[in-house]
Amino acid sequence: MSGLRTVAGKARRRLPEPVVRAARALLLGWGWLTADLREEPGVIVVGAQRAGTTTLFRLLSEHPHLCRPTVDKGTGYFDDGYRHGRRWYRAHFPLRRPGRWRRTSFECSGYYLFHPLAAERIARDLPGVQVVAMVRDPVARAHSAHRHELARGFETLPFAEAVESEPARTAGVAARLAAEPGTLSFEHRHHAYLQRGEYAVQLHRFVEQLGPDRVHVVEADELFADPVPVYVDLQRRLGLPVHRPDEVGRWNERPGDPLPPDLEARLRGHFDDHDAALAELLGRVPSWRKESLR
């Protein structure tokens, strides 16, 4: 089955974009008509952006007891797509299977962790769901996110200028998103390079809404350093039978030049308190801070 999924994924990537869009529309149309027969997810990967979520999505997609969305890796429902309603959401997932053939659906939407309303919405609509949050060295994550936004045409400023402009660009936006459901913000989604790496406050929302037993944090640096044991540990926390992958790649990676030492030091200082709060929440020092303790 995993081989068929891989072939299907490669076929999607080779097809012309108009054909892909038409196929997506067809799948969602059929999903809408059969939404009552579809399974909402039992597992959601909520981000963080540029923290290995694509790699984790590929791993979960190969698990024989899990089933990915029918169109894309995520739906974006609990952030900008909430206005579409639950039937639209169900349309993204496979048809339910009976008895012993039944599998758990999952999705992976990297903006959920950062969006101020996503945790509350997920807890209300999917009270039994388990959430996986991936975290990564926040300085490296910010730099990678900037490269990503540049490549997609959503950013024009150099990294140092983009970071300097972030407070002005995003001023008051999070509060507006929380106060006015249905509001969308380009700046919040694409230009919050440092804020997205302030993990503790984001994770706290999910722990508060779902409880600590249903929020599972994975460190990207540890996953890539020793992938199979970290992935096996996550499966056990999720209550899944253990599936050991044949290969773990680094999908969707965007290599870049190293940061100037003075800029890196300044950004590292920005995250001092945020990383300390994360360590308290996790009960351990994040891997990217361990070097400084030696």
- CATH number for the domain that contains residue 152: 3.40.50.300
The model's pLDDT over 188-206, given as tens digits with 9 standing for 90+, comes to 999 999 999 999 999 999 9
98-125 burial code (b ≥16 CB/10 A, e <16): eeeeebbbbbbbbbbbbbbbbbbbbbee
Closest CA to 146 of 160, 134, 136, 135: 160
The residue segments making up the domain with residue 213 are: 2-293
- For residue 50, how far is the Cα from the chain centroid? 8
| Structure confidence at residue 140 (pLDDT) | 96
Structurally, how many domains does the chain consist of? 1
| Structure confidence at residue 2 (pLDDT) | 39
Residues in the chain: 294
In the chain, the amino acid numbered 235 is: Q
What stretches in the chain show pLDDT beneath 70? 1-15, 250-255, 292-294
The model's pLDDT over 48-103, given as tens digits with 9 standing for 90+, comes to 999 999 999 999 999 999 999 998 899 999 999 999 999 999 999 999 988 777 89
- Give the integer Cα–Cα distance in Å for 71 and 26: 10
| Structure confidence at residue 6 (pLDDT) | 42
Strand partners, 105: 67
Closest CA to 49 of 9, 71, 23, 79: 79
| Structure confidence at residue 135 (pLDDT) | 98
Maximum Cα–Cα distance across the chain: 59
194, with CB counted inside 10 A (0-12, 13-18, 19+), is buried
